[in-house]
Amino acid sequence: MNNHNHGSNLDRAEVAGIVIASLQEVLTLASREAPAGVIGDETYLIGQGAVLDSLGLVNLILEIEQRLEEEHGLTMILADEKAMSQKNSPFRSVGSLTEYVCRMVEEQATRVGG
């Protein structure tokens, strides 16, 4: 267990890696094809042209939370009221979800370290 610095040293590339690896895992478990080409910031998670259904999105969020805890010692709930009340859903695309997780990690590091 590497509980190093409560995750405050997680950069965007690492968070993106977690989001993408989690998405690939969820797609594999659901026996769904990954989208043609590379999964990246523009890959839609919900809405038109999305790679997930609503259950897939729930599984993705749980997978990301689990990886953050196991790999970085971070315990957080991504699908909270704050996420659901945002005008633009943080779950719309890989990029928006990555940005949202980065903000959550930063806020948690500030609370824990501050």
Per-domain boundaries in the chain: 5-109
Whether the predicted pLDDT of 36 surpasses 70: no
Longest dimension (CA), the chain: 43
Tell me the CA distances in angstroms from 76 to 14, 81, 98, one per residue in order. 17, 13, 14
Residues 80, 66: Cα–Cα separation, whole Å: 16
pLDDT at 5: 42
Which of 12, 18, 15, 19 minimizes the C-alpha distance to 94? 19
Look up the CATH architecture of domain 5-109: Orthogonal Bundle (1.10)
pLDDT, one tens digit per residue, over 65-104 is: 999 999 999 999 999 888 888 888 999 999 999 999 999 9
How much is the average pLDDT of 29-57? 87
Q: Is the pLDDT of residue 3 over 60?
A: no
Question: Is the Cα dihedral 60, 19, 83, 93 positive or negative?
Answer: negative
At residue 30, the pLDDT reads 87
